Amino acid sequence: MTEHIEYGIETGTVVYDTRADKVGEYRGQAGPYVLLRPLGGGREWEARPESVRPATAGERLAAEVRAANQRSRTPSHPVPDSPAPEPVAGCAACAEFAGRRGQAAARSDASAVTDADVLLRRHLRRDHWGTRPRRFFRFVPYLITQDDTAEPEYAAYCVSGDDADCGAESGPCGSPGAVEEWQRRHTRDTRHLRYRRSFTDYAVLEPESVRP
């Protein structure tokens, strides 16, 4: 018999969303849904309470391995955060979410700040869509070119396994041949045969006005 999550679960509990086939941390309620976030951080999603149950040890381990691999592939240079949503003056719900964000920022709780921003954005879309003044931006055309100063990277990730992915990975390599050699060695040692391979390069956007 499947054990489902009931409201009142502690924030941070690791659960499994059977409809989305994803593991996440319980972050709170969002109307008739529960709010979940991927292990290691990322975009939250809404799940139906009846589709959520405690994650098994194997599901949690697989999710933690994927999160660790994702962090290892994330570029070291910082990515600018999106601007915080602006509450609508005179709206009690907006003021509540903005207050939550301010309290979280005061105690340096970045996770709670993100949660408050998500809830405020959702409220703005649902209850204030079309009521806020429009903003107009001038479109600037950009050219996208490969960054010649950064070497492309190749990698492989072993997805063999019955209950969960093996999780072994080659790490960034400078050529496809180096990745294939790692696959051969891993298969020789483990008899695993299935891999997910990826290619990564870096791109630069330049306004057309600055091009010669």
Does 5 map to a domain?
no
Count of domains observed in the chain: 3
Does 211 map to a domain?
no
Boundaries of domain holding 116: 92-127
Does 85 map to a domain?
no
User: Are residues 54 and 12 in contact, defined by beta-carbon separation less than 8 angstroms?
Assistant: no
Summarize pLDDT for 72-96 with one digit per residue, the tens: 665 544 444 567 888 888 899 889 9
Does 180 map to a domain?
yes
Does 79 map to a domain?
no
Does 81 map to a domain?
no
Q: What angle do CA 13, 16, 19 make, to 5 degrees?
A: 140
Q: What is the pTM of this model?
A: 0.36
Q: Which pLDDT belongs to residue 69?
A: 74
Q: Which pLDDT belongs to residue 204?
A: 86
Same domain, 123 and 157: no
Choosing from 69, 84, 100, the residue where a domain stops is 69
Residue spans of the chain under pLDDT 50: 1-5, 76-80
Does 9 map to a domain?
no
- H-state helical runs in the chain: 57-73, 92-106, 110-127, 176-190
Q: Which pLDDT belongs to residue 44?
A: 83
Q: What angle do CA 158, 164, 169 make, to 5 degrees?
A: 20
User: Are residues 157 and 196 in contact, defined by beta-carbon separation less than 8 angstroms?
Assistant: yes
Sign of CA dihedral 45, 4, 67, 40: positive
Summarize pLDDT for 34-46 with one digit per residue, the tens: 888 888 777 888 8
